[in-house]
Amino acid sequence: MSSFRFKNPDEKPGYGEEDSNFESAISSSFVYNPNMSLDLQSQRNKLPITKHRNEVLYLCEKFQTLILVGSTGSGKSTQVSQMLLDSGLCQCDKSIVITEPRKISAITLATRVAQEQKTNLGQLVGYSVRFDNCSQPSTKIKYITEGILLNEMMSNPLLVNYSVIILDEIHERSLMTDILMGLIKKVLKKRPTLRLIILSATLDSSQLKSYFNLNQSNDPANDTATVLGIEGRSYPTKIYYIKDPTPNYVDESINTVLKIQQGGTLGDILVFLTGKEEIMQAVNTLDDYNVKNPNEKIKLLPIPMHGTLTNDEQLKAFRPAPRGYRKVVFSTNVAETSVTISGIVYVIDCGFVKLKWFNSKFGADSLITVPISKASAVQRAGRAGRERPGKVYRLYTKEAYQNLINATPPEMMRSDLTDVTLQLKAIYINNVLRFPFLSPPPAKNLLYAMEMLKALEAIDKFGNLTDSFGTIMAELPLPAKHSRILLKSAEMGCSSEIISILAMLQLQDAFVRPKYGATIQKAKIQHRNFEVAEGDLLTLLNIYNGFEKNQYSQQWCHRFFINHNELCKARKIRSHLIDLMRTSKIPLKSCKGNTRIIIKSIASGLFKNAAYLHYTGVYRSVGLDEDLYFHPKSVLNYVNQPQWVLYDELLETTKTYIKNLVEITPSLLLEVAPHYFATPTLQNR
């Protein structure tokens, strides 16, 4: 093991160290609550926000928009709504709505607030998320996910049911929050009595303030937006930087864990790495260490934490370590935003993150590893010291920290905007280029979105939604290309099969893929029962049909190594789609397994995503001459190698992978999309 590479904080005061109280934001679920033993009212009285009650109410009355900056633990997500309700500030026939980026936050917050208000959930206080509406028209405080509010705006653009809109977790800058902010800014101009409260954990509030300030004069007395800062609630945290840059942060993180271990002080460790592979590697290394050092007084207990783990596997990270063990959680960015693990005293931060970045040239996402932002570094550090003083080890130099960008570019600037553009058009935001974006996306991305929508015939050459497709496509909870497949399949008479496929495409993975031992092969053999030469999408249909035929049985799923939870989700999505089709008068028809028709309707939505087998033996994309590789999960890796395929998704990681494939013939492309294909392109191949 190499020597300790961090500067001793006592070595040179003021260098290599920082004392600070972190204003850390965490998702509202699983928040550590040091006052758990107190009764509800005493707990509420102890929250930092309670001291600011009069200020909040006064500012809400005086200003149309209030930007409230404060860390979690300040109580802003649960208390602000109740303050407004209790004060009677909200008009009697209207309610208060709070948006959350994740379902789990909306549900847990509503549950908590209902308890505090001493009512049953779903009456005075409720929530609404996809597939789960627990509210009534009389509900006064409603926690909802962001997408629900956007959906409500389609039928009610001025949101007249609400007197106060609270947007939570704004610092995350999700695609949805940015869209909502732009839309609500317009609503504020038309409804002067509406109040907007923005809850954010970061300190960069000046940009938000000027964005929402509708004051046209030079007199600040007429400002319509203001900022209020709330102190957080945490212990001091010491920060250590590495002396020299490390060539391998995974190894370095292990060294640091062992140094903490040698230091002897107790406390769990949270290590931030970028991906599953790194995490597995780190966990294995610590396992080896345990085998070689069986006599440690306190044993290290390595635990992986990432999004693709099952719920049971994730729970391990939340359980306290058994006596004689110290938890070492190796995590991706999930632990920065989505989940909070209690008991963390030490944080080790590798300084990198994997980000999805949309590339308008390929019309696809790249997954790239980039240095984190300062805001992220602060956020990660804030995971230590929530329950007692903590220590943070940054696996980068102080100089590197100072050179980090302030904040991660918002999703809006690095996402495919096709679906968002379609939704905006449905709420009469026709000129998307002139939408008041807080962070304007690259013009290229907007142009790509329009071209895409035009190719899918959702908009006409003037950019207006088409009557035939556009209006309905915007209302379906599907990606635009999938909505088109559905509408086409209804014309062709196979919509029943297509909705099964589209529902299955929304799952993470329908197959259970064991990680160890003989079951790996067993699972693969069972999966062969569903795999067909036509490709992945038809394989998905086979799985769903089997599931349906066997009465959605758990035993059946178990036998064939199919993920029962995921399949149940597909069933739910499918029946939701059937409901929507009924209201939109889209016929539900089965082609009785006629694969030719099914593939034809798929092609009518994915025609842009064609690839052919080049004579070099690699697949090439049509038009881009980019080498493409079948994703390792594709069944076409071992079923056959067709001349032409369509893909649902293209993802650039170490190679350019195409996912969810269907075998096709080039003539089919001309048949389904004559409006798109310049014939010579295909004939020249």
Partner DNA sequence: GAGCACTGC
- What is the spatial distance between Cα 554 and Cα 565, in angstroms, rounded to a whole number? 9
Residue 309 or 670 with smaller CB distance to DNA: 309
For residues 146 to 185, the per-residue mask of contacts with DNA, x marking binding by CB under 7 A and - elsewhere, is xxx--x----------------------x-----------
CB 675, min distance to DNA, A: 25
Return the closest-CA partner of residue 76 out of 100, 102, 58, 103: 100
* Binding status of residue 657 toward DNA by CB under 7 A: yes
* Binding status of residue 581 toward DNA by CB under 7 A: no
Task: List CB contacts of 123: < 8 A, sequence separation 6 or more.
Answer: 114, 136, 138, 139
Return the closest-CA partner of residue 391 out of 1, 8, 25, 70: 8
Structure tokens at 657: 């992978």
For residues 455 to 494, the per-residue mask of contacts with DNA, x marking binding by CB under 7 A and - elsewhere, is ----------------------xxx---------------
Which residue in 307, 587, 623, 674 binds DNA (CB under 7 A)?
307
Under rule CB under 7 A, which residues in 227-246 are in contact with DNA?
A: none
Under rule CB under 7 A, which residues in 6-65 are in contact with DNA?
A: none
Return the closest-CA partner of residue 25 out of 78, 68, 65, 74: 74
Torsion of CA 56, 58, 59, 61, to 10 degrees: 120
Which residue in 9, 275, 371, 442 binds DNA (CB under 7 A)?
275
* Binding status of residue 129 toward DNA by CB under 7 A: yes
CB 108, min distance to DNA, A: 11
* Binding status of residue 530 toward DNA by CB under 7 A: no
Phi/psi class of residue 552: alpha, beta or left (left: φ > 0; alpha: ψ in -120 to 50)? left
**Under rule CB under 7 A, how many of the chain's residues touch DNA?**
44
- What is the spatial distance between Cα 258 and Cα 290, in angstroms, rounded to a whole number? 11
- What is the spatial distance between Cα 241 and Cα 392, in angstroms, rounded to a whole number? 9
For residues 611 to 640, the per-residue mask of contacts with DNA, x marking binding by CB under 7 A and - elsewhere, is --------------------xxx---x---
Residue 103 or 142 with smaller CB distance to DNA: 103
The amino acid at residue 338 is S
Residue 606 or 669 with smaller CB distance to DNA: 606
Under rule CB under 7 A, which residues in 537-566 are in contact with DNA?
A: none
Residue 309 or 532 with smaller CB distance to DNA: 309
CB 306, min distance to DNA, A: 4
For residues 81 to 120, the per-residue mask of contacts with DNA, x marking binding by CB under 7 A and - elsewhere, is --------------------xxxx----------------
634 three-state secondary structure: coil
Return the closest-CA partner of residue 602 out of 473, 508, 432, 483: 483
* Binding status of residue 386 toward DNA by CB under 7 A: no
Q: What angle do helix axes 146-155 and 175-190 make, rounded to 10 degrees?
A: 40
Under rule CB under 7 A, which residues in 507-526 are in contact with DNA?
A: 513
The amino acid at residue 581 is M
The string over 63-93, giving b where at least 16 C-beta atoms fall within 10 Å of a residue's C-beta and e elsewhere, is bbbbbbbbbbbbbbbbbbbbbbbeeebbeee
Which residue in 66, 228, 355, 541 binds DNA (CB under 7 A)?
355
Segment interacting with DNA (CB under 7 A) among 84-92, 492-500, 588-596, 646-654: 646-654
CB 86, min distance to DNA, A: 28
* Binding status of residue 333 toward DNA by CB under 7 A: yes
Which residue in 57, 597, 651, 670 binds DNA (CB under 7 A)?
651
Contact 182, 417 (CB under 8 A): no
Sheet hosting strand 141-145, strand order edge to edge: 132-134, 125-129, 141-145, 95-100, 162-167, 195-200, 65-69, 225-229
Which chain residues interact with DNA by CB under 7 A? 101-104, 129-131, 145-148, 151, 174, 274-277, 306-308, 332-334, 338, 354-356, 367, 411, 419, 477-479, 506, 513, 631-633, 637, 651, 653-655, 657
